[in-house]
Amino acid sequence: MKVTITVNGSQVAAEVADRTLLVHFLRDVANLTATNVGCDSTSCGACTVLMKGAGEAGGGKSVKSCTVLAAQADGSEVTTVEGLADGTGEMHPVQAAFHAEHGLQCGFCTPGMVMAAVSLLAENPSPTEDEVRTALEGNLCRCTGYHNIVRAVLAAAPAVSERRVG
């Protein structure tokens, strides 16, 4: 079937098998390989991206792209970690905070973790530590023990709020 998805602001249209998962559309059709597959049971969150249906407001909601068919995303806007930085190449405040706080090691969970954090801060601009931990429960990291990820999200919160206002 023909699927058209706006990925990071660019329209990508392709004929794909009906069963094609959104994550494979992103990786193999749009050729954006940052979004990773870490499990086959919707448990790990490595594939988390933001998805916004036609006519919806805001920056989109986080979805696990291994559990969304490309067909279900037809006509929607999807943002991956590659589309997070602004045009100047400046990192998004969440990306910058992960860097500053050493919120990543091997990097495999990172794109999904960053997108989950962006989604959290859009919904809750000043979360507590407990709220951050709860929000990231669906994203597994095997390297950091989550300590610095949580610190990074908390550190990013003010800058994300400022950016939204500005």
Partner 1 sequence: MSILGTRVVRTEDPRLLTVGGTYVDDLRLPELADAARVTFVRSPMAHAKITGMDTDAARQAPGVLAVLTIQDMDDLTPPPPPEPGSEVSEGAPLPIGGLWSEPLLAIDRVRYVGEPVAMVITSDSYQGEDAAELVSIDYEPLPAVIGVGGALDTPTLLFDGTDSNVPVDSGEAADDAIFQGCDAVAERTIVNQRLAPMPLEGRAAAARFADGKLTYWVSTQNAQISRFILAGALGMDPGSIRVITPDVGGGFGAKVGIDRDAILVAWAARKTGRALRWVETRSENLVGMTHGRAQEQTIKIGGTNDGRVLAYRLDVVQDTGAYPRMSGFLPFLTKLMAVGPYDIANVQTKSRVVVTNTTPISAYRGAGRPEATAAIERAMDLFAAEIGMDPAEVRRKNLIPPDKFPYSTPTGATYDTGDYVTALDKVLAASGYAGLRAEQARRREQGDVLQLGIGVASYVEITAADAAAGETARLAVHGDGTATVYTGSSAHGQGHHTAWAMLVESELGIPMANVTVIHGDTDLIPEGVGTYASRSLQLGGVAVHKAALEVKEQARRVAADMLEAAEADLELDTGRGAWQVRGDPGTGRSWADVATHAGADGLTAYVQFTGGGATFPFGTHVAVVEVDTETGKVRLIRHVTADDAGTVVNPVLAEGQRHGGIAQGVAQALLEEMLYDADGNPLTGTLADYAAITATELPSFELVNSETPTDINPLGVKGIGEAGTIGATPATQNAVIDAVSHLGIRHIDMPATPSRVWAAISDAPGGQGGSGGQGGQTKGAAR
If the CB atoms of residues 126 and 134 are measured against partner 1, the closer one turns out to be: 134
Contact by Cβ (8 Å): 97, 155: yes
Stretch that binds partner 1, among 1-9, 53-61, 68-76, 108-116 (CB under 8 A): 108-116
| Lookup result for tokens 């610190």 | 151
- Binding to partner 1 by CB under 8 A, coded x per residue (else -) over 29-58, reads --x-xxxxxxxxxxxx-x------------
| Total residues at interface with partner 1 (CB under 8 A) | 56
**Binding to partner 1 by residue 139, rule CB under 8 A?**
yes
Q: Which one of 6, 8, 72, 105 is in contact with partner 1 (CB under 8 A)?
A: 105
Candidates 5-13, 27-35, 69-77, 156-164; binding stretch for partner 1 (CB under 8 A) = 27-35
CB of 14: closest distance to partner 1 in angstroms? Answer: 14
When binding is defined by CB under 8 A, the residue of 1, 106, 123, 164 that contacts partner 1 is 106
Q: Cα–Cα distance between 45 and 47 in angstroms, integer?
A: 5
* Residue 90 vs 162, nearer CB to partner 1: 90
Binding residue for partner 1, selected from 143, 158, 159, 161, defined by CB under 8 A: 143
Taking the CB of residue 28, how many other CB atoms lie within 10 A of it?
A: 14
What gap in Å lies between CA 40 and CA 160, rounded to an integer?
32
- Give the residues lining the site for partner 1 (CB under 8 A): 17, 19, 27, 31, 33-44, 46, 81-82, 84-85, 91, 95, 98-100, 102, 104-111, 114, 129, 132-134, 136-151
